[in-house]
Amino acid sequence: MTTLAGKQGLILGVANKRSISWAIAKAASDAGARLALTYPSERLEENVRALAAALPDPLLLPCDVTRDQEIAQLFRTLGGEFGGLDFVLHGAAFAQKQDLDNPFSQTSREGFRIALDVSCYSLIAMARESAPLMAARGGGSILTLTYLGSERVFPNYNVMGVAKAALEASVRYLAGELGAQNIRVNAISAGPIKTLAAMGISGFSSILQVYRDRAPLRRNIDAAEVGDVGVFLLGPQSRAITGEVVMVDAGFHVTGM
């Protein structure tokens, strides 16, 4: 069993109890890690605080990932509170609803910018700011969340698929750059789960059924299964793994028909 005893980590992207970020946060806490969680706005702060109440000694901090000054302040505070950082889970992603509902060719320039900024550039910014804190601990692990829509066309995934493709490329480039500091960068590509974000995609229930019918394991996955893989990738047992997109989808990605 992976232990994260004595480790300190940052979790981004918790929106509610169904969030994949929350599943990984809970698993990391159960494995012994002390966590800092962020909330992007006052609207979501109450949800995050209610969930964090179940964790031992959590640190809650505001951070809008589209604002460089807030990211810098986040890591200044973490440096003061933690002194160093062992891992970061990047679960931030967003696209405007009209850019998911409309045909992909109708994606607005502003919608494209927002999706790439929140869903991809924020990983780069987090890696840049977290690297010195991880170096102070002798290295660390950065983990992000992606989806198979980065490689294949899924109905109504549209600009988010492009953002996830850019995210996965960023994982590889960051892994190549930060490896010399013993900092690993990986992604989990999970199968569809009924998260708040997923339920905003039209036809999502049909995607769930296709996975159940065609995945080798003939079922959907649950968030706890992603949490277990997340703890593995954040912890020392995956110390030789970097630059990877790890599929957690009941094997759906291997199927042709």
Integer CA distances (angstroms), 195 to 39, 171, 223, 257, in order: 17, 23, 9, 26
User: Which distant-in-sequence residues (6+ apart) come within 8 Å of 240 by Cβ?
Assistant: none
Helices (H), ranges, 4-121: 20-30, 42-52, 68-82, 97-101, 109-116
CA separation for the pair 139, 85 (Å, rounded): 9
Active-site residue flag, 121:
no
Active-site residue flag, 147:
yes
Q: Is the separation of the CB atoms in 122 and 38 below 8 Å?
A: no
CA separation for the pair 204, 214 (Å, rounded): 16
From the candidates 39, 121, 157, 211, which is the catalytic residue? 157
From the candidates 39, 147, 173, 211, which is the catalytic residue? 147
Instruction: Report the catalytic residues.
Output: 147, 157
